[in-house]
A and B are shown apart, each in its own frame.
Chain A
């Protein structure tokens, strides 16, 4: 299943950032690998995505500032980059209508989802997603947008809202449930 041998990512940058990157890689690589593994379920692209995430971080302009934030938020940041990489790959595969590995894998998971109407329905879906977010209860909505758009970790959201982490977790689950209900049935 998931490749658990911890391969150290080698990152080079001349401006002295590489130490910070190396440290980040050591600290977060197992968690990132686990995250990507759980998103792609041991798909062969798995290792690629982990490597590319660190490469993208290395290319960021404000990398030092980014990496000096709290642990939770660095991890959130890495996860959102990895999410984008996964999405980019999926999208490219979709527009080319190529049934490469990832598309086929995804198509199996979603049923029919790479047809021509898909592009149109993605727009509609996005509008539905937005409507669903707007309709969430204020507490639940705050927790979701702070996490999703402000990039705050659950703990940071909890600290910002002065509630417990487990409360934030409940809000996040509730928000996901509402997205699903609204987009797929509403």
Chain B
């Protein structure tokens, strides 16, 4: 009895921790919010555990002026810098497998690239690579890139898939990414490039990048700046550019859109008011078990949902998302061992009796 009580209590505590952590993540969705409010209303114990954690977290803020805490904080910033330097040093000796982290899907490798190297990820997998110049590259599910760094420049070829880059500044060597027919040139900045068939999507989170459709390379920044205006498209932070065949669309000042497009980096993909068709093609990027839309009448339904990325249980996560769609929308999921098929639910369940 006692044991069961403790187990329940522990479970409540964990849920509370999760909600408080999510609350401060800044990317709570409407679904998260209603889940939280529902959970709080379920049981006074839930509310108490949640409020208690918020209270303690709030209270810790009063330690901001505390000498020991200030020292710890400085130490945390400093220790990390040192550790990164150490890592780079190790990297010079050899390409070393560094950390295998987390229940989700991210691993951190350190890449020592003398000459060229291929990085790739399997379906449902995500990996972060610390490159030799200190930049970090995160590959999304099912992607392949070729890294080619030398004294003249830093070149990356995106063969297929999606890459997020946090680029280290190097005035002597600009960093370029080739994707399909386009070349993206970056200064110190954070952005992602997604190539899928002939469709290219670039989302800039920080700094700015230039996109050109020819193959000019700018080895030095001065040269780059001089030719900056010459025919290339400049994207500032918050911009999303899409290229498809001859079509080109640029959305500016859309931080929210950039965040959504890069949400896969935090282990979940968010969909906000997108067509079912778009949602499913995105889901299929992560899942071995594919989802098919059998009925064109449902393809344009507007969907908001979240897909959690979990390499071990990806099929389970897809199923979870689909069954939540089933609840809200007139959709029926037909489950096969190797695929999920979506059809319109025309009240068949009600009429069956």
B95 close to A (CB within 8 Å) = no
Report the stretch among A6-14, A36-44, A46-54, A55-63 that lies at the interface.
Answer: A36-44
Question: Which residues from B are CB-within-8-Å of A2?
Answer: 33, 37
CB A160 to nearest CB in B, in angstroms, measures 5
Q: Is the interface of A mostly helix, strand, loop or mixed?
A: helix
User: Beta-carbon contacts of A135-173 to B below 8 Å, as 1s and 0s?
Assistant: 000000110011111100111000111111111011011
Known A-B contacts A34-B30, A129-B59, A145-B72; A155 and B265 likewise in contact (beta carbons under 8 Å): yes
Known A-B contacts A41-B40, A76-B26; A166 and B108 likewise in contact (beta carbons under 8 Å): no
**Cα distance, A109 to B48, chains bound together (Å):** 6
B83 close to A (CB within 8 Å) = yes
Report the stretch among B49-57, B171-179, B318-326 that lies at the interface.
Answer: B49-57
Question: Which residues from B are CB-within-8-Å of A80?
Answer: 61
B216 close to A (CB within 8 Å) = no
Question: Which residues from B are CB-within-8-Å of A101?
Answer: none
**Cα distance, A38 to B32, chains bound together (Å):** 10
Question: Which residues from B are CB-within-8-Å of A109?
Answer: 47-48, 51
Q: Is there an interface contact between A160 and B101, defined as CB atoms closer than 8 Å?
A: no
Question: Which residues from A are CB-within-8-Å of B62?
Answer: 126
Question: Which residues from A are CB-within-8-Å of B51?
Answer: 106, 109-110
Tell me which of A129, A145, A166 contacts B76 (CB under 8 A): A145
Which chain B residues numbered 45 to 99 have a C-beta less than 8 Å away from chain A? 47-48, 51-64, 66, 68-70, 72-73, 75-77, 79-80, 83-84, 87, 99
Q: Is there an interface contact between B21 and A176, defined as CB atoms closer than 8 Å?
A: yes
Question: Which residues from A are CB-within-8-Å of B106?
Answer: 164-167
Q: Is there an interface contact between B253 and A83, defined as CB atoms closer than 8 Å?
A: no
Q: Is there an interface contact between A71 and B80, defined as CB atoms closer than 8 Å?
A: no
Q: Is there an interface contact between B24 and A27, defined as CB atoms closer than 8 Å?
A: no
Question: Which residues from B are CB-within-8-Å of A72?
Answer: 26
Closest to A149 in B: B73
Q: Is there an interface contact between A172 and B21, defined as CB atoms closer than 8 Å?
A: yes
Question: Which residues from A are CB-within-8-Å of B80?
Answer: 142, 160-162
Report the stretch among B12-20, B193-201, B344-352 that lies at the interface.
Answer: B12-20
Question: Which residues from B are CB-within-8-Å of A16?
Answer: none
A31 close to B (CB within 8 Å) = yes
CB B100 to nearest CB in A, in angstroms, measures 11
Q: Is there an interface contact between B52 and A110, defined as CB atoms closer than 8 Å?
A: yes
B130 close to A (CB within 8 Å) = yes
Known A-B contacts A27-B256, A169-B25; A38 and B37 likewise in contact (beta carbons under 8 Å): yes
The interface on chain A, measured as residues whose beta carbon lies within 8 A of the other chain's beta carbons, has a size of: 64
**Cα distance, A142 to B250, chains bound together (Å):** 39
Tell me which of B55, B63, B64 contacts A110 (CB under 8 A): B55
CB A2 to nearest CB in B, in angstroms, measures 7
Question: Which residues from B are CB-within-8-Å of A34?
Answer: 28, 30, 33
Question: Which residues from B are CB-within-8-Å of A92?
Answer: none
B123 close to A (CB within 8 Å) = no
Most chain B beta-carbon neighbours within 10 Å: one of A141, A154, A159, A173: A173
A125 close to B (CB within 8 Å) = yes
Most chain B beta-carbon neighbours within 10 Å: one of A37, A41, A165: A165
Tell me which of A37, A79, A184 contacts B24 (CB under 8 A): A79
Question: Which residues from B are CB-within-8-Å of A165?
Answer: 106, 265-267
B23 close to A (CB within 8 Å) = yes
Question: Which residues from A are CB-within-8-Å of B253?
Answer: 23
Q: Is there an interface contact between A166 and B255, defined as CB atoms closer than 8 Å?
A: no
CB A66 to nearest CB in B, in angstroms, measures 15
- Supplied contacts A106-B51, A164-B108, 10 more A-B pairs, CB within 8 Å: A35-B26, A41-B40, A129-B60, A146-B76, A150-B73, A159-B136, A164-B104, A165-B267, A176-B20, A177-B17
A sample of 27 cross-chain residue pairs with beta-carbon separation below 8 angstroms, ordered by A number, consists of A1-B37, A31-B28, A35-B26, A38-B23, A38-B28, A71-B255, A71-B258, A109-B51, A122-B59, A126-B59, A133-B63, A133-B72, A134-B68, A145-B73, A148-B57, A155-B266, A163-B101, A163-B108, A164-B108, A165-B267, A166-B104, A169-B21, A173-B14, A176-B17, A177-B14, A180-B53, A184-B52
Q: Rank and list the top 7 A-B pairs by shortest CB-CB distance, nearest first.
A: A164-B106, A142-B76, A75-B26, A109-B51, A165-B266, A173-B17, A166-B104
Interface residues of A (CB under 8 A from B): 1-2, 23, 27, 31, 34-35, 37-39, 41-42, 70-72, 75-76, 79-80, 83-84, 86-87, 106, 109-111, 122, 125-126, 129-130, 133-134, 141-142, 145-150, 153-155, 159-167, 169-170, 172-173, 176-177, 179-180, 183-184
